Chains A and B, each alone.
Chain A
Amino acid sequence: MSILESLENYLLTEIAVGLGKKTLGPDEDLLELGIIDSLGLMKLISFMEEDFGISIPDEEVIPENFQSLNCMAKLVELQVQN
């Protein structure tokens, strides 16, 4: 499973539960749609750190890194390289 698919799967099954979403577009604005709230973000970060074996510094927890699946995948790739 690619990073993008893994993130989409987690968001649909753990964060966006009850919102009736079956898929998420790679550039869909998840913040403006209200899919990720502050608690959801905490869960998402824990998932990303565990699943991809990375550490996300607090300074990187900014909207442009979590706005869409593509943004999150880029953040993961960057942290994996680091």
Chain B
Amino acid sequence: MDFSLTEDQVTFKKSAIEFAEKVLNKGAKEREKNREFNQDGWEKCAEFGVQGLSMPEKYGGLGMDIMTCVVTMEALGYACRDSGLLFAINSHIWTCESPIQKFGSEYQKDKYLPSLCNGSLKGGHAMTEADSGSDAFSMKCRAEKKGDRYIINGTKLFITNAPIADLLLVFAVTDPKKGFAGVSAFIVEKGFPGFSVGKPLELMGLKTSPIGEVILQDCEVPEENLLGKEGAGGAIFNSEMEWERSCLFATHVGAMAKDLEDCIRHVNEREQFGKPIGKNQAVSHKIAEMHVRLELSRLALYKVAWLKSQGKRAPVESAVAKLFVSESYVQNCMEALQIHGAYGYSTEMDFEKNLRDAIAGKIYSGTSEIQKNIIASLLGL
């Protein structure tokens, strides 16, 4: 395994950091207070090429390899203080754009990918329901073929980007007898008859990322909008999750690196009892532990990226990375807040916001407990 970055990757990473610092942070605190999505930031990211990072150039993408995608997301996580925007963009890429590119027909790719790459369309996916979260394939949403279209009925909950999305990959049961293998995926546009979105949901963190309910009431979807074959929903979902667990969580690694730098600066400058607080082992050991978690998180993610760049499957490794990065990010946020004391607890600084955002990472893309189930199961238990 060789995780060294090429000169081009280092240059691109630097430019992504400069871009995010210059363009994405202005007004972030206000948007957080107002739960406001950063539409301008979305458009600027699209101009920079973020939404089309991994997409082929023929659709307007940059055609980057997975390691460059991971490194770029790490850079954005490091420099962008609006993690809700990054969450929305990652959902767009890995749960909508990428599966269409991988499983879509030529018609679907030509129709949707150029606009998803240039950011004029926003996407996401609709999987979770009120009674099917971790047990995702026990969904109740049904799709029935009638003539040249499918009629979908069901309600989806906690859908990232739902209030702003132009299209969603909706997962629905087409053959109830087959369990997870009877689930199919459909590209559903917001203008299709019977499609509607409920009010945005208020969450503890990720306040600038619009999340809501999706209602499908006799929603008519043309048959050409079935993604892959009937019953391919499980494979599409698992493939999405492997990618999301690599690239989305790279933003957390970047954020951990930024927090650690801030903490090191603070403990060297802040003096109590006549010396910098970093001279106390109770503090310096926290810094050392934060560094260990950051380094191991980065290695775990890079290993997944390397495996995928070799065309290999990485179900255990991506579950390990997702579990370790998300848990480590929460722990590092707690330590960063503690190291900064009352300042850390204050909303004037970003540490309490980071903690609220980080906790979500233990839940979305499969909870920590589900990652452990996957790891244990694939180890033969």
Does B182 touch A at the CB level, under 8 Å?
yes
- Cross-chain contact A58 with B377 (CB below 8 angstroms): no
Smallest CB separation, B345 vs chain A (Å): 41
Does B347 touch A at the CB level, under 8 Å?
no
Residue of A nearest to B311 (CB): A55
- Cross-chain contact B178 with A61 (CB below 8 angstroms): no
B313 contact set on A, CB distance < 8 A: 45-46, 49
Contact of B377 among A42, A45, A55, A62 (CB under 8 A): A42
- Cross-chain contact B103 with A39 (CB below 8 angstroms): no
- Cross-chain contact B378 with A38 (CB below 8 angstroms): no
- Cross-chain contact A61 with B235 (CB below 8 angstroms): yes
| Known A-B contacts A38-B238, A39-B377; A63 and B311 likewise in contact (beta carbons under 8 Å) | no
Q: Which of A20-64 contact B (CB under 8 A)?
A: 31-32, 34, 36-43, 45-46, 49, 55, 58-59, 61-64
A39 contact set on B, CB distance < 8 A: 373-374, 377-378
Most B C-beta atoms less than 10 A away, residue of A40, A42, A67: A42
Does B177 touch A at the CB level, under 8 Å?
yes
Q: Flag the segment in B58-66, B88-96, B226-234, B262-270 that touches A.
A: B226-234
Residue of B nearest to A30 (CB): B181
Contact of A58 among B137, B175, B235, B312 (CB under 8 A): B235
Contact of B234 among A14, A38, A59, A67 (CB under 8 A): A38
Smallest CB separation, B145 vs chain A (Å): 15
Most B C-beta atoms less than 10 A away, residue of A43, A61, A63: A63
Smallest CB separation, B173 vs chain A (Å): 12
Chain A at the B interface: mostly helix, strand, loop or mixed?
Answer: helix
B19 contact set on A, CB distance < 8 A: none
- Cross-chain contact A62 with B179 (CB below 8 angstroms): no
| Known A-B contacts A38-B234, A58-B235, A61-B234; A43 and B378 likewise in contact (beta carbons under 8 Å) | yes
Smallest CB separation, B100 vs chain A (Å): 13
Contact of A38 among B180, B230, B236 (CB under 8 A): B180
- Contacts between chains A and B (CB distance < 8 A), count: 69
Question: Chain B, 229-273, contact with A by CB distance < 8 Å: what is the 0/1 string?
Answer: 111101110110000000000000000000000000000000000
- Cross-chain contact A31 with B179 (CB below 8 angstroms): yes
Smallest CB separation, B13 vs chain A (Å): 28
Does B41 touch A at the CB level, under 8 Å?
no
- Cross-chain contact B137 with A46 (CB below 8 angstroms): no
Most A C-beta atoms less than 10 A away, residue of B236, B313, B378, B380: B313
- Cross-chain contact A38 with B229 (CB below 8 angstroms): no
A41 contact set on B, CB distance < 8 A: 180-181, 234
- Cross-chain contact B235 with A62 (CB below 8 angstroms): yes
A49 contact set on B, CB distance < 8 A: 313
Which A residues are closer than 8 A to B by beta carbons?
14, 31-32, 34, 36-43, 45-46, 49, 55, 58-59, 61-64, 66-67
Q: Please, could you name 10 A-B residue pairs with CB atoms under 8 Å apart, sorted by A?
A: A32-B178, A37-B137, A43-B377, A55-B312, A59-B232, A59-B235, A62-B228, A62-B231, A62-B232, A63-B231
Given contacts A46-B313, A58-B239, A61-B235, list 7 more A-B pairs with CB under 8 A.
A38-B137, A38-B180, A42-B315, A49-B313, A61-B232, A63-B175, A63-B230
